[in-house]
Structure 1
Amino acid sequence: MNVDKYDLPLSTTSGRAAALYREGVDLMLSAWPGAAERLSAAIDADPEFALAHAARARLYAGHGRSAEARKEIKAARGLAARRGDEREQSHVDVLALAIGGRSPEALDRALEHAGLWPQDVLILSLPLGAFGLFAFSGMADHDQARVDLCERHADRFASDDWWFLASRGWALAENGEVARGRAMLERSFELRRENANGVHALVHAMFEGGAGADSDALIEGWLPSYDRSGLLHGHIAWHAAITALDRGDVANALAIYEDKVRPSVSLGLPINVVSDGASLLWRLDAYGHGAPADLWRELADYARAAYPEAGHPFVDAHMSLVEAATGDRDALDRRIAALDAMVDGNALAAGPVAPAICRAALAFATEDFAECVRLLGPAAADVARIGGSGAQREVIEDTLLVALMRSGETARARTLLDRRLHRRPSPRDERWRVQLAA
């Protein structure tokens, strides 16, 4: 009998197809180039191998190739019904729900599936990560939920399992257990350097621990080994730009953005290209450095084409930064109206925090800093509901902090700065604290 990496049975009778599938899954879980080729070769070796079709469907979906993903998962369901066992059929059904946009059902089914087959890692991974089903569920405590899921199944994974170490370590680091999470992530990196997801998670742990120099050194030493076609190449470079900006090196931050992050050079997913560009350029403006207008225009053109409709709170928050910064008031008003209607109809899991962020972005851009504070004060406390990571959501808190300073609310600004510095040392926050004390 052919089995996967964790000895779960595979329905294929082809040893070659099974081996290629195992390789393809490892490459997909590490966001490393070559996964598509391995999975396609597995299907060539056994065209009726349901899980290979399902994995390729997930890969297509992750690359934004929705039509191909739907076609592939439909084929996988038919094949699993004819030849797959209970686990394979459930696996394909969960992926079909996720690919079909039925995220709440997909999350419920993924957790149920993981309870029965925790080592079926393509399903266990669905709720995890900054863009996983937990993060985009609208939950305020999705960081804790990821930790709980990993801890629940930790005894089913070996101590040297690079994928589980990275997943568990990132969940812990995002949830405040930075030292413990970073240790797991560093062990995962030792076991498999060719793992962009693991390096990305380690950079996040370093960010949460205020270890900007360590993050810079890791990215500088590792990123050249990762092909620019890798999905996370531009996003990991964005982390280097953010740490450069944090220490006041504006020229380097802009150079990294122009070389690796901007839409015309990045081969990353649209959600990363838009959110990375919006948050970096917005920070440049908010910190008083001024983002080049041509970079804003390029990003706005890309973002409008990538996300013509509202309804994804994480994306909407970043789209509002683009629209506010470029003065596209009509587009921002339409976005706010659409989100308000979804909130009124209970159709937006994240609730009113997303339209509040959009309104605050407009207030900030028009220099109505008191109104920005009024809107962002409550919203910032609930910002985790839009999903993403702590590093990504920090732009919202930065906006509130700058608005507090510019509206003259220095006492509140000092309180927020003290809380941030207690949680995570930051050269930028130290400079702001000195400025406020002067």
Structure 2
Amino acid sequence: MSRLDSRGLPLSTTSDLAAERYRHGVDLLLSAWPGAAEALEEAIAADPDFALAHAARARLHAIRSEPTKAQARIAAAGEIVARRGTERERSHVEILRLAINGHSAQALERALAHADTWPRDVLILSLPLGAFGLFAFSGMADHDRARVDLCERHARHFDADDWWFLTYRGWAHAENGNVSHGRALTQRGFDLRRNNANAAHALSHAMYEGGAHEDAERLIAEWLPGYDRSGTLQGHIAWHAALGALERSDPEHALAIYADYIQPSVTAGMPVNVVSDTASFLWRLKAYGHDVPAGLWDDAAAYSRGYFQKAGFAFADVHMALIAAATGEKAAVEERVKALTSLTEAGALAAGPVVPAICRAALAFAEENYAACARILEPVAAEVVRIGGSGAQREMMEDMLLLALMRSGEAAKARALLDRRLHRRPSLRDARWHGMLAA
């Protein structure tokens, strides 16, 4: 009898236990839920020649920024699948090998072709999707639209109650501006599987984009205590609640959330989340007129020194520059800008010149040279989307431009930007700023 994965695709394993543990492990992986590593190790123990279990374990290592372990695991999967695997499994392993070894453009191309043939191979279909997926980090200006198109192209292949597909389809629509539809899809996915950090995260995004900040805070407050501290998204989901508190001008509550869930010493988050969440929260705290307690920037800087030292990962680059600018490490920002500019000129930075521009603007803002910050950011504002991440994460760059315009006397430009934002997404903070400009 053929052994199948959770979406009905055949698996090359001789063990029923290995197949069951693999199905469970992949579902935990796709829901960012603790226990995935253990389940996949059990699958491998039951059948050491189970290539896809090794490949999924490699994917988990990559998510945790453990490249050496990820490369070793995917190499083992490649050796096994070459002698014992189907065409789909060989393609599956090769795509993960490309992604893990940094060949993102090739991995994206192969993943899209793979999905056309095997759309229900969800571990591969998941790679282009999400805020940190291959589309988001491709440097594309239209990656939000690309995710929607990919989901809609393959929607007919998924059941109406497929919790994973509902989550990612809903997130894609919400990020691309169809917020009410995206929220409804994501809500259904969340209701079907509440032990799913990706769904809680996606739903909080949809609420945020729709201006439903109280709904998002309530969701997170009710859901987060049931998510183990070892969960990789716990700190980032709490970050959304902290932003909600800042939106309500409640810095004390925001800082309490930061202390309990987000700061580097307490979170089990992925390094890219820890660096970006700490940097963007502390920047917002100060930019919105509140004091940053002593030591918090230094703690973020100390953590960041262990990661992303080499320029070229656009999303990380701008947050690393932000931390360096905030802690007075001007030379570090300038060195990163120099490296990014060289990569851009060589055509080796997919996101292009917007990346060094944001880094330069962050330094100008930190030095309170608001006119220079606005002068740098304004021409590239429409290109910020190329750095990837979510709309909520990138909003900080727009806030930087807005505040720079306000503080450098460009009231008309600031008012026009606020008008566009309020039309797109209701915001208490934007409404307050608009009132200040109108006074």
Q: TM-score, structure 2 length as denominator?
A: 0.99
The match for 1:299 is 300
SS state at 1:32 partner = coil
User: What corresponds to 1:424 in structure 2?
Assistant: 425
Mapped to 1, the partners of 2:309 and 2:147 lie a distance apart of: 31
CA–CA separation in structure 1 for the residues paired with 2:34 and 2:72: 22
Displacement of 1:319: 1.0
Q: 1:159 Cα deviation (Å)?
A: 0.4
Secondary structure of the structure 1 residue equivalent to 2:34: coil
Partner of 1:201: 202
Q: Using the TM superposition, give the Cα deviation of residue 94 of structure 1 relative to its aligned residue in structure 2, in angstroms.
A: 0.4
What is the CA–CA distance in structure 1 between the aligned matches of 2:272 and 2:244, rounded to whole Å? 21
2:38 paired with 1:37: yes
Distance 1:56 1:22 in 2: 12
Deviations for 1:158-217, whole angstroms, at most 9, x for unmatched residues? 000000000100000000000001000110111000000011000100111000000001
Letter matched to residue 170 of structure 2: G
SS of match in other structure, 2:297 = helix
1:246 aligned residue: 247
TM-fit CA distance, 1:306:
1.6
Which residue of 2 is the match for residue 313 of structure 1? Answer: 314
CA distance in 2, matches of 1:225, 1:411: 47
Q: Deviations over 1:261-290 (max 9, x none)?
A: 000111101100010000010111212212
CA offset at residue 309 of structure 1?
1.6
What is the identity, as a one-letter code, of the residue corresponding to 1:62?
I
> What SS does structure 1 have at the residue aligned with 2:266?
coil
Alpha-carbon separation, structure 1, partners of 2:395 and 2:221: 23
Q: Which amino acid aligns with 1:149?
A: L
Secondary structure, counterpart of 2:306 in structure 1: helix
Write out per-residue CA displacement over residues 353-377 of structure 1, whole angstroms, 9 at most, x where no aligned residue: 0000011011111111111111111
Deviation at residue 304 of structure 1 after TM alignment: 1.6
Counterpart in the other structure of 2:330: 329
Task: Specify the code of the residue in structure 2 equivalent to 1:107.
Answer: L
- Which residue of the partner structure matches residue 102 of structure 1? 103
Q: Does the alignment pair 1:174 with 2:186?
A: no
1:37-436 residue pairs with structure 2 within 5 A?
37-436=38-437
CA RMSD of aligned residues (A): 0.7
Q: Residue deviations 1:207-253, cap 9 Å, x none?
A: 11000000001000000000010000000000000110011011111
Shift of 1:116: 0.4
Query: Residues of 2 paired with 1:108 and 1:381: CA distance?
Result: 25
What is the rounded CA distance, in whole Å, between the counterparts of 1:74 and 1:316 in structure 2?
Answer: 29
Per the TM alignment, residue 293 of structure 1 is displaced from its structure 2 partner at its CA by 3.3
CA distance in 1, matches of 2:64, 2:290: 34
- Once the two structures are overlaid, the 10-residue window that deviates more, 375-384 or 116-125, is 375-384
Q: Which runs of 4+ in 1 moved over 2 A?
A: none
- How many residues are paired up? 438
What fraction of aligned residue pairs are identical, expressed as a percent? 65
- Name the CA distance, whole Å, in 2 between partners of 1:190 and 1:280: 29
CA apart distance, 1:65? 1.2
For structure 2, the residue ranges without an aligned partner over 5 or more in a row are none
Give the residue type in structure 2 aligned to 1:61.
Answer: A
CA separation in 1, counterparts of 2:306 and 2:19? 39
Please give the secondary structure, in 2, of the residue aligned with 1:293. Answer: coil
Which whole-Å CA distance do the structure 1 matches of 2:38 and 2:436 have between them? 54
Moved more, 348-357 or 309-318: 309-318
Name the amino acid aligned to 1:194. N
Shift of 1:92: 0.3
Q: TM-score, normalised to structure 1's length?
A: 0.99
Secondary structure at the residue paired with 1:20?
A: helix
| Structure 2 counterpart of 1:52, one-letter code | A
Q: CA deviation at 1:379?
A: 2.0
Structure 1 counterpart of 2:175, one-letter code: E
Q: Which letter does structure 2 place at the counterpart of 1:176?
A: G
Q: How many Å separate the matches in 1 of 2:165 and 2:203? A: 13
**Structure 1 gaps, min length 5:** none
User: Partner letter of residue 378 of structure 2?
Assistant: G
